[in-house]
Each structure stands twice: as C-alpha cells, then as structure tokens.
C-alpha cells in the first residue's frame, strides 16, 4: 500500500517536511480555501502540486472536491454545480491527480460531540455520544419535529444530559457540531443549520439515492474520459442524523452504488472507522465484494461503547475491527488487481507534545505518526518484508 498523509495546505500546522520525516510518500489534500461550488483555477492546482512535489512528496489523492448542498437536496439549478464539480475533476486529472475522494452526506460531514475524550493512558480522542447529540438536536438546535425521531428512552437520556451539563459544555457541543470538522468545508450558525436542514424537507433515502445517481450521471463520463477514479467516502457516523437520510452507510448502500454504474471509475474509499461504527458492517466481506472498486483506504478503528450508538476513536490496532486482517485483505486485493492502494492513518489520538500544541481536530502530528508506524509494521510483516529481523 502507498503510505500517505492528510495535509490541509499551507495553513496546516504540520509542514510537509514533517510529513516526509513520518515516512509517508503521498499527500492527500485539496484546495480547501476555495468555497464549495466554485471552480478550481488550473494555476492554483499546479501551484499546490508543485509545492508538494518540491517537498519530495506526491499528491496522490484529492480529498476532496466538496459536493455542493444544492446537488444533494436537488435544489433548482443543481446541475450547474455538478458541471463545475466535473470541470474541477477534469482540471485535476489533466495535471496528474486522478484519485478523487468525495462524500454525499447531507448538510454535515463527519460529526462528533467531543474532540477531547480522555483515554485511560491520558491521550485525548474523538467521541460521538448519542445522548449529547440528541440533546443538541432537541433542546439547542430545536429542530422542528425532532422529537418524532427519538424513542421515549432517547428523550429521557437527552433530557438527563442537558440537566447535567453546564453552559460551557453546551457551548462546546454546539461549536463542535456546527463549526464543521476538518474537511467538511462548511460551517453554520444555529439559524443557518436549521435553514439548510429544512431544504431537505420531504427527502427520503430513495430521493437522496436518486440525487446521487443523477450526480454520477454527470460526473462519471468525465472521470472515464480523463482516466480518473471516484472514491466515495462512507457516512460518518453511518446512520441518519438530524432527520436527514444517509445512503452510504452499509454494504447494501455500497452495493447499490456499485450496481448503479458498473464503471471501475465509480469506486469507494474504504474508511474502516466509519463503517466499523456499525457492528453489522463486515469490513472483510465489503473488501471481498467491492474488489477493484476500492481506490483509497482510511485505516483507523473505533470502539463501540455500552450504548452501541456511542463510540470513540481507539488506537489504530485496537478497537472493534481487526485492522491487521483488513490490511491483509487489502494486500491480497493489490496482488489480485496489480494496483497499489493509497492508505492513510486517520484520526490519531492527541499524545505527548500534541497535548500542548494546537492541531487540526483529529489530525495531530504524533498521534498519526504512531498510527502510520503501526500500520507500516503490520503491512511489512504481512507482506513478508520482515523475516528473521531483516
């Protein structure tokens, strides 16, 4: 596998020379400074590519070209944004960046309720707590008709969380959810979040699938023409949020996407952590069934808690998913297909000097360095490159 590292551009607190020292050779990035729905100038693409290459690295995956909300909710004129997306894809491919990760999560990208969850060893992790999320939805956001999405027990849990919280905790929860986590490219106020959610009124799973299909109808021919590959990212967490449908959450969803258009360009990002939130997602079976459609891998694990809707990011080789078995399956896939799959460590813990420094949530330097080293070691052993100490 090709060892890569997510980098958020020149403003990232982790410079490219640190990435080289971590041992990665590939960079996963995007033009994060350009607002959603706007064209990426060819000059800006080449400037970013040259900056990465001059540091001795390669831009191997574009993560991501954001999909404008009007596309997902089917707003009038959404096709214009899809054609802009396709044009950005074309410009990237013409300059050598042909692996494009994207997601189709309505309104909010990946979502957590705590960015500094204390682990037993003193590390800080990311966490999703269902009671906190429900309390935000019901009593802070006050989404219309939200109560119908919860059971009486859920409502009681949310009320208990709210009663036990203080103003600072509620403000921190609100900021964590509405500000947008790294890579989401969108942030909201409570009012604009309500408005954006309301744009999906009447949208169900079938409707969102239809919008995804219509989007693919526009962009896939361009990807095929340019020799590019699209790698849709699973929902995170892989379940409906805020009354909005999510349609990239389980094996059936992935199978529908694969069958909608059988082109190899219509592919997937295997995010083990996202899919692993659900116990009914068999990651090894997904790898076996998707085969050559997997173009990119996010390797991390999560630990489901007593309430299985609660989870936190665990160490890379811990958690509820056997990541060593996943690496073995991906290496076997590479052998069968004759391809190399870019992978990156994801959502590392804040450890050591990370604890004393500002870092992008989920993307500390040392926590990911540890994760990459663990993944590299496991892959080396499985590939037979470490024998008798050599």
**Angstrom distance (rounded) from CA 194 to CA 242:** 10
> Which one, of 160, 105, 108, 110, lies nearest residue 138 by Cα?
160
DSSP reduced 3-state for 133: helix
Residue in this structure with the two tokens 């705590």, named with its chain if needed: 114
Strands 2-6 vs 229-232: parallel, antiparallel or unpaired: unpaired
Greatest CA separation for the chain: 64
**Chain Cα centroid distance, residue 23:** 22
Instruction: Determine the Cα–Cα distance for residues 361 and 83; give it in Å rounded to an integer.
Output: 32
C-beta separation of 197 from 67 below 8 A: no
Q: What's the token pair of residue 50?
A: 């040259």
* Separation of CA 386 from chain center: 32
- The rounded distance, in Å, linking the Cα atoms of 235 and 199 is 19
Annotated catalytic residues are: 233, 271, 298, 346-347, 363
101 sits in which H/E element? strand 99-102
Closest by CA to 328, choosing from 292, 370, 378, is 378
Can you tell me the distance from the alpha carbon of 336 to that of 313, in angstroms, rounded to the nearest whole number? Answer: 31
């Amino acid at each position: 596998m090709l060892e890569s590292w997510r980098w958020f551009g020149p403003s990232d607190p982790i410079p490219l020379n640190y990435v080289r020292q971590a041992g990665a050779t590939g960079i996963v990035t995007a033009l994060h400074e350009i607002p959603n729905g706007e064209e990426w100038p060819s000059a800006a693409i080449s400037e970013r590519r040259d900056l990465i290459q001059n540091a001795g690295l390669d831009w191997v995956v574009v993560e991501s070209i954001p999909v404008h909300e009007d596309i997902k909710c089917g707003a009038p004129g959404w096709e214009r944004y899809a054609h802009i997306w396709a044009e950005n894809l074309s410009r990237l491919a013409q300059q050598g960046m042909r692996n494009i990760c994207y997601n189709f999560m309505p309104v909010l990208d990946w979502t957590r309720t705590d960015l500094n969850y204390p682990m037993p060893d003193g590390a800080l992790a990311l966490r999703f707590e269902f009671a906190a999320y429900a309390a935000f939805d019901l009593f802070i956001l006050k989404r219309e008709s939200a109560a119908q999405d919860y059971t009486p027990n859920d409502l009681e849990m949310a009320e208990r969380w709210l009663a036990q919280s203080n103003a600072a905790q509620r403000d921190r929860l609100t900021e964590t959810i509405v500000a947008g986590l790294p890579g989401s490219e969108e942030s909201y106020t409570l009012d604009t979040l309500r408005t954006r959610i309301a744009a999906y009124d009447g949208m169900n799973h079938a409707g969102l699938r239809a919008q995804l299909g219509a989007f693919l109808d526009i962009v896939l021919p361009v990807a095929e023409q340019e020799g590019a590959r699209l790698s849709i990212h699973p929902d995170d967490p892989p379940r409906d949020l805020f009354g909005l449908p999510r349609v990239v959450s389980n094996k059936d969803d992935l199978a529908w996407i694969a069958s909608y258009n059988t082109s190899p360009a219509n592919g997937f990002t295997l995010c083990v952590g996202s899919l692993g939130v659900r116990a009914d997602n068999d990651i090894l079976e997904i790898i076996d069934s998707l085969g050559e459609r997997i173009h990119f891998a996010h390797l991390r694990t999560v630990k489901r808690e007593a309430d299985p809707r609660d989870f936190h990011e665990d160490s890379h080789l811990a958690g509820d998913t056997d990541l060593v078995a996943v690496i073995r399956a991906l290496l076997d896939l590479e052998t069968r297909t004759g391809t190399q799959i870019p992978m990156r460590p994801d959502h590392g813990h804040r450890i050591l000097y990370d604890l004393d420094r500002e870092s992008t949530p989920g993307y500390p330097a040392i926590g990911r360095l540890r994760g990459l080293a663990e993944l590299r070691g496991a892959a080396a052993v499985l590939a037979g490159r470490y024998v008798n100490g050599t």
